[in-house]
Amino acid sequence: MCGIAGYWAPDRVDPGTASQLGNSMARAMKHRGPDHQNVWISQSDGIVLAHARLSIIDLSESANQPFVSPDGRYAIVYNGEVFNFPELRESLQNAGHVFHTGSDTEVVVQACAHWGVIEAIKRFIGMFAFALWDSRDKRLTLARDRIGVKPLYYGNQGGTFLFSSTLAAIERHPAFERRISAEALAAYFRYSYVPSPHSIFSGIAKLPPGHVFSIDRNMKSSLNCYWSGVDVAQAGLASPFTGTDSELIDGLEALARDAVRRSMISDVPLGCFLSGGIDSSLVAALMQAESCQAIRTFTVGFSDARYDESGYARKVAHHLECEHTDIICSTREALDLIPSLPEYYDEPFADSSQIPTLLLSQLTRRSVTVALSGDGGDELFAGYDRYYWIGKLENILSRWHPELRGSFTAILEALPRQMVFAALKALPFGSKLAPMVDGGYHLARMMKHANDFKYLYQTTPMTVCAYRDNSLLVNDAEPRSVMDEEVIRAAIPSLLHWMLYVDQTTYLPDDILQKLDRASMAFSLEARVPLLDHRLFEFAWRTPKHLKLHRGRGKIIMRELLARFIPSQLIERPKRGFSIPLADWLKSDLRAWGQSLIDSSTAKNDQFLHKADVIATWNNFLTGRADHTLTTVWNLLIYLQWRSRYSN
């Protein structure tokens, strides 16, 4: 795990200035790579590559980067791991290639030289982002892994092409123009993150997962997709597995074992994040099955019992005979992190589970350098409650005739909501009926918009962006997204499958994986996600629906596999998530912090916000006068905190 950065100014570069700028960009990423920082410069070509290394495989100096191929044609800066590099290395050796290090970086370079960049990447199993300079063809190529585990930003700023793992490194270059994108900001207030391919800054983009970007000395560029999630989804749905359930579980076990085994390749100590839930417990169980000694597991808990799952993790670790470490964090420890969040996240990012993830990463790094995580299981195998409810909606829509749906909707719309609930209050059993009636109104609204998948995604309870409020913004026009693509809607006609696909290509890389990468790298910890091996992604799309969702539960196939290692009674419980008592904190310990941001000159002078609405939203939240304002308030405060840092 590392940080990469660089720039290309084709009109040549001054070596002194280039060295200074390159080293400045590398230092901005030192938390990602504390073991070694270096710069490679081609003065005549105007290319500068910077690297910050966290040593994981081949700890020798010969594996440091930037790395130049033996023939001098290629130079690379590379972040991540290609887990099947031993097999690739053997194939290349059989083809006549000679290796001088034991690193996977050299394998990546030689593979690209031998097969070409795209054909080489198609052979990779892993998580990666890299920049490859071809001195013969005068071409710079950027590549990112299929799922989007590793970050990569890029953009042309006034004739200088910039790229990096972090926006912080790009900001070090004088060519960078600090202009906030109003569209990206609107998307942030909708989703609590800035979705790819956008960044918070105009002119700087995120390289989409599964893509290769290439640019020549005339600044002519191309963006090519080498792996398509929609193609995988369409192929899987068209050709589902037809074996028995037991055979499918066997297939999942074989793939998951191989993914975990590969993810355990390391020349430094490694361990596992363990919450005691299905995904992390499965990863821990498979790690222990592949290890000849007790693996290290790590859990962070909270003194507030409502949000503490450390006891569950402790029981799982005991059953697996792991060497377990947990820590109960005080409210104070969590609160102390919050004002520093912009230092860890380059863009506004308001998934509050970033706080326990940071605390867990900090704890884990005290003992190991690499940690395996269970992220991805929910998105691949329908683990969230929202998939269950969308599945129920699809079943209802398929059984109700359109005319009956129309009549049901018309009747409820004709009954004023406030009048109905006022009448319920007068009944002795009205409080018990109220949730059912509320559900009826919501169902009617969903039926009315049954063919508008984007509307359903954005309004269904428990979806990523339900109840978001963009009224704070002067300009709330969001950019087009995956949800607007008719090609994808045509390829994936089922609402449930479409929602899974949208989450896998937006929420997963831009929220879940961004959260994990920034939190772990803040403490120089490499986090690996074996459940997001692309072979498991492809397997998931061929898995029948009944092995994902059944009788109100998700991830059925993963539950069945986990039961081979851990008794069900240690695992089966309501899904809680990695949450914190955020609303309570904002009304007590964090109230002064929030008020200071609302009253700050940053808020008063921000050209993107309606000042009066900012104050009203905060006050309504504090007094409880408005529903569903917590997410909006948290988005607002995180943005103001980030903007304050950015302004300085």
Minimum mean pLDDT range among 119-133, 319-333, 413-427: 413-427
Q: Edge-to-edge strand order for the sheet containing 221-225?
A: 67-68, 74-82, 126-134, 139-144, 211-216, 221-225
Minimum mean pLDDT range among 2-16, 145-159, 485-499, 502-516: 485-499
- Identify the pLDDT of residue 615: 93
* pLDDT mean over 294-323: 91
- Identify the pLDDT of residue 537: 98
CA distance linking residue 156 with residue 154, whole number of Å: 7
In contact, 544 and 554? CB cutoff 8 Å: no
- Residue 461 is encoded by which pair of tokens? 């309870």
pLDDT > 90 fraction of the chain, expressed in percent and rounded: 69
Q: How confident is the model at residue 272 (pLDDT cuts 50, 70, 90)?
A: very high
Q: Could you tell me how many residues make up the chain?
A: 648
Residue 486 has pLDDT above 90, yes or no: no
Residue 453 has pLDDT above 90, yes or no: no
Give the orientation angle of helix 630-647 with respect to helix 591-599, to 10 degrees.
60
Q: Beta strands of 188-322 (E only): which ranges?
A: 205-206, 211-216, 221-225, 270-273, 296-302
In contact, 496 and 522? CB cutoff 8 Å: no
- Identify the pLDDT of residue 577: 59
* pLDDT mean over 330-338: 84
- Residue 231 is encoded by which pair of tokens? 């193609």
Q: How confident is the model at residue 464 (pLDDT cuts 50, 70, 90)?
A: low
In contact, 595 and 610? CB cutoff 8 Å: no
Q: How confident is the model at residue 207 (pLDDT cuts 50, 70, 90)?
A: very high
DSSP 568: G
Minimum mean pLDDT range among 145-154, 361-370, 448-457: 448-457
Beta bridge partners of 224: 212
In contact, 397 and 389? CB cutoff 8 Å: no
Q: How confident is the model at residue 260 (pLDDT cuts 50, 70, 90)?
A: very high
pLDDT tens string 345-392: 999 999 999 999 999 999 999 999 999 999 999 999 999 988 888 887
Beta bridge partners of 296: 271, 323
Neighbours of 625 (CB within 10 A): 10
pLDDT > 70 fraction of the chain, expressed in percent and rounded: 96
- Identify the pLDDT of residue 626: 65
- Residue 388 is encoded by which pair of tokens? 């269950």
CA distance linking residue 332 with residue 343, whole number of Å: 19
Report how far Cα 645 is from the mean position of its chain's Cα atoms: 23
* pLDDT mean over 104-117: 97
Would you name the residues annotated as active-site residues?
2
Indicate the pTM of the whole model. Answer: 0.93
- Identify the pLDDT of residue 423: 79
* pLDDT mean over 480-503: 85
Report cis status (omega within 30 of 0) of the bond before 66. yes
Q: How confident is the model at residue 574 (pLDDT cuts 50, 70, 90)?
A: low
- Identify the pLDDT of residue 451: 77
Domains of the chain: 2-227 (3.60.20.10), 231-382+508-570 (3.40.50.620), 385-501 (no CATH), 582-647 (no CATH)
pLDDT tens string 53-76: 999 988 888 889 999 999 999 999
Residue 17 has pLDDT above 60, yes or no: yes
Average pLDDT of the chain, as a whole number: 91
Residue 465 has pLDDT above 70, yes or no: no
- Identify the pLDDT of residue 462: 58
Angstrom distances, CA of residue 493 to CA of 201, 238, 443, 487, 496: 34, 12, 20, 10, 9
